[in-house]
Amino acid sequence: MLGDEAGLEQAVGHLIQNAIDASARHQAVTVKVGREGDGVAISVIDEGSGMDAEFVRSRLFQPFTSTKDGGFGVGAFEARSLVAAMGGRLTVDSRVGEGSRFTIHLCAADAAQDEQPERKRA
Domains in the chain, please, with CATH? Answer: 5-112 (3.30.565.10)
CB-based contact 41:57 (threshold 8 Å): no
- pLDDT, tens only, 3-61: 689 999 999 999 999 999 999 999 999 999 999 999 999 999 999 999 999 989 998 88
Separation of alpha carbons 37 and 4, rounded Å: 21
Mention every residue, 6+ apart, whose C-beta is less than 8 A from residue 58.
none
Q: What is the pLDDT of residue 114?
A: 47
Q: What is the pTM of this model?
A: 0.81
Task: Please give the Cα distance from 75 to 62 (Å, whole number).
Answer: 10
Q: What is the tens place of the pLDDT at every residue in 71-111?
A: 556 789 999 999 999 999 999 999 999 999 999 999 977 65
pLDDT at position 74 is: 76
Query: Which of 69-73, 108-112, 117-121 is least confident?
Result: 117-121
